[in-house]
Amino acid sequence: MFPILFRIPLPGIGPVTIHTYGVLLVVAFLVAITVARKLARREDIDTDRIVDLGVYAILGGLVGAKVLLLIVDYDFYSRQFSNIMADGGGNVGAALSGLGGAGAFLGTVTEMALSLLQAGGVFYGGLIAGVLVALWYMRRTGMPIWRSADVAAPAIAVAHAFGRVGCFAAGCCYGIPTELPWGVTFTDSYSGTLVGVPLNIALHPTQIYSVLGNLAIFAFLLWFYRRKQFDGQVFWVYALTYGIFRFTVEFWRGDPRGSIFDGSLSTSQFVAILMVTVALGMLARLRMNKTDAAESNA
């Protein structure tokens, strides 16, 4: 829709492109940190630690999102790699033409890396990697894991909403064709080349569905936060509600995301089922632990 926010001309280097998606990722991070800091004060958690936790989790999440994107969209990126390699490695390869085949390979790897940075990512890959990095950091610093997770859950939801606005701007995570009146048509050839979105065809605005869904989850979690009965409940309620929402919205997604069981489920739907199952189990376990603790103290 609007993949490029603006370009900055630099003498001797050329224009530097500022992508809308990247700017919105920064906004998402700042909003998430603001929300997490406010909730951390309520939980009597060091707000500086929360900021550090957010930085580590975001870095891990970005890597995880890109890695899973490569896995589920392997066919697209393998074709892109072959095409760039056949073209001599693009602009970088041309600059390194004196190195022969090695220059073409280095140029191709560089062009692919830039393409991945400009593209979006698979949220589940980012969530899983971000959670693992966050667990490592919390254990390393002695932060209360479940209370910190409750603080993080609403922040993740609102950050995801801003991220999906970035997806809409870039054209990634697009929907299947539709004749509904709110269908959106992408016309920017840059988006078509960058993320493969079909042009000049009305599509389900699945990015906007995800924006609205994540905002609704965020609002619900803020309401639920004041009513939680045990630590960790808010985080696992987030996992439960997002898993259900994501499973549903996948039916209208049209971008290549991988599939299993002969195409019966997308990769994200399978992960959503696992997430909901684990969330229900953890909610039951944490509730049981709270009950047992209350009975032992009675």
Contact 183/205 with Cβ under 8 angstroms?
Answer: yes
Enclosing domain of residue 134: 4-290
Exposure b/e, 250-275, CB count within 10 A at least 16 = b: beebbbebbeeeeeebbbbbbbbeeb
* pLDDT value of position 263: 80
Residue 297 lies in a domain: no
| Cβ neighbours, 10 Å, residue 116 | 17
Average pLDDT by stretches of 10, the chain with 298 residues: 74 69 86 93 89 87 77 70 72 67 71 62 76 90 92 94 91 93 91 84 96 97 95 96 96 86 87 95 92 66
* pLDDT value of position 227: 93
- Count of domains for the chain: 1
* pLDDT value of position 192: 81
3-state secondary structure of 185: strand
3-state secondary structure of 224: helix
Residue 295 lies in a domain: no
Residue 195 lies in a domain: yes
Residue 296 lies in a domain: no
| pLDDT tens track for 44-70 | 899 999 989 888 888 888 788 777 777
